[in-house]
Amino acid sequence: MKQQLKLEDAKKMMLSCDMGELDFAEILNNINNDELLSKYSPDGICQIDPRNGNLVVYNSSRAKRIHTTVDKPPQHQEFENCPICNGQSSEILDLAEQSEGFTFINKNIYPIFHPIEELPQEEADYFLHQDLEHKGRASYGFHLLQWTSSIHDKDWHNLPFTDALISFEQLAALEKILLCQTTSFMSRSITKMEQQMVSGYVSIIKNYGAAAGASLTHGHQQIAYSNILPQRFFNNLRFRKRHEKSFSQFMQDENPANLIVKDYGEVILIVPYFMKRPLDMMLMVKDSSKRYLHQLSSVEKQQVTLAVQESIQTIIGLMEDMDIPPAYNMIVNNGPGCGLYFEFLAQTQKMGGYEQIGLFVCQANAVDSASRLRKRVSSLSS
């Protein structure tokens, strides 16, 4: 029998039966009243490194996470003792059934962002915030998790396409609920480049494998909703202002053709000419006016889902060929001015001292890496 959370148990933990009916105020109230989350709530402070704009948020209680404090169990024990499969997770906000099992969204028990009692009167843009005494800026919001499948050993790389699409559509729906809410919880902002008013920022990342920072083997995505503009988002916005085009459009215009891994039609998978690590890839939505997942058409969502699946399958396969335990980070670049794109960062090399000062030493070149990736992706559909 497959290790998984049972549907009947999940429904007992569920806040909503329909993502479309999930109300932002209901989510906020539920998170505010969760005593367990309050117990492990973050410090609520963000500091900025003045050298490069890197942001640091603080949560001392995350050091108490059982998965970071206990000795790593043998893989079969970790499989059997998965807290998600055993129904030991926080309350579920929403689930969507798949052909086998289901995908669901719940609250991170050890959040990096959490609601605060008194909302500050401040600039929505962190970089306009005045902090002469270096006390830091208030940081607040939500920290949620999406479990790609209730089945322990199922994730993007081995789910049926239709099930993976359900997971992606659920993620896009949640993004819309968070960004398009109309309460005063988050400052609302709009620029000349934006087509819609949005509230706060939604950061979506995936860690797979211990080397990439994954504390659980059950496949999941992390969703942070915050008042803080992440540095990468700020860089995307600054790039657009400086070049009068989005970074994703720039890459479509400027990245050499021999670094294309696969053109799906509405989206394109490439190796960036400035590749920092072997097997690193970027997935660009060709319509660079799209900023967010929920703005994608049904065709674009299908192609993004397929590209995500094939990218991850390729990274895992090639890393296994290299005798490196598969590990990668997936980053969704959404937000103001960005032009929607995804990054797949394979943990094929460790970070060293030179990388810490911004000098990356890469053990392959972009052309060779693109050739290997292209051959592997092509073999997936042959």
Q: How confident is the model over 202-223, as pLDDT tens digits?
A: 999 999 999 999 989 999 999 9
Q: What sign for the dihedral angle of Cα 163, 168, 172, 178? A: positive
CA distance readout (Å), 25 to 32, 34, 42, 182, 197 = 10, 14, 21, 9, 18
> What does the alpha-carbon distance between residue 216 and residue 116 come to, in Å, rounded to a whole number?
28
Of 229, 252, 277, the last residue of a domain is 229
**Pair (278, 372) in one structural domain:** yes
Within 10 angstroms of residue 295's Cβ, the number of other Cβ atoms is 18
**Pair (112, 196) in one structural domain:** yes
**Pair (215, 254) in one structural domain:** no
The domain that holds 318 is classified in CATH as 3.30.428.10
Q: Which two tokens stand for residue 63?
A: 């050091």
The pLDDT of residue 195 is: 55
**Pair (203, 289) in one structural domain:** no
**Pair (3, 118) in one structural domain:** yes
**Pair (221, 314) in one structural domain:** no
**Pair (357, 212) in one structural domain:** no
Domain count, the chain: 2
Domain that holds residue 110: 1-229
CA nearest neighbour of 263 among 151, 178, 370: 370
Q: What is the pTM of this model?
A: 0.91
Residue 301, in any domain of the structure: yes
Q: Is 27 exposed, middle or buried (0-12, 13-18, 19+ CB in 10 A)?
A: buried
**Pair (312, 347) in one structural domain:** yes
CA nearest neighbour of 270 among 279, 285, 283, 254: 283
> What does the alpha-carbon distance between residue 214 and residue 303 come to, in Å, rounded to a whole number?
26
DSSP per-residue letters across 33-98: T-HHHHHT----EEEE-TTT--EEE--GGGGG-HHHHSPPPPHHHHHHT-TTTTT-S--EEEEEE-
**Pair (197, 246) in one structural domain:** no
CB within 8 Å of 345: residues ≥ 6 apart: 212, 276, 277, 280, 328, 329, 330, 331
**Pair (94, 217) in one structural domain:** yes
Of 176, 202, 229, the last residue of a domain is 229
**Pair (14, 114) in one structural domain:** yes
Q: Is 319 exposed, middle or buried (0-12, 13-18, 19+ CB in 10 A)?
A: buried
- Segment 63-107, tens digit of pLDDT: 766 554 445 544 444 667 798 998 887 889 989 999 999 999 999
Task: Mark the ranges of the chain whose per-residue pLDDT is less than 70.
Answer: 1, 16-20, 64-79, 121-130, 187-196, 382
- Segment 103-140, tens digit of pLDDT: 999 999 999 999 987 777 666 555 566 677 787 788 89
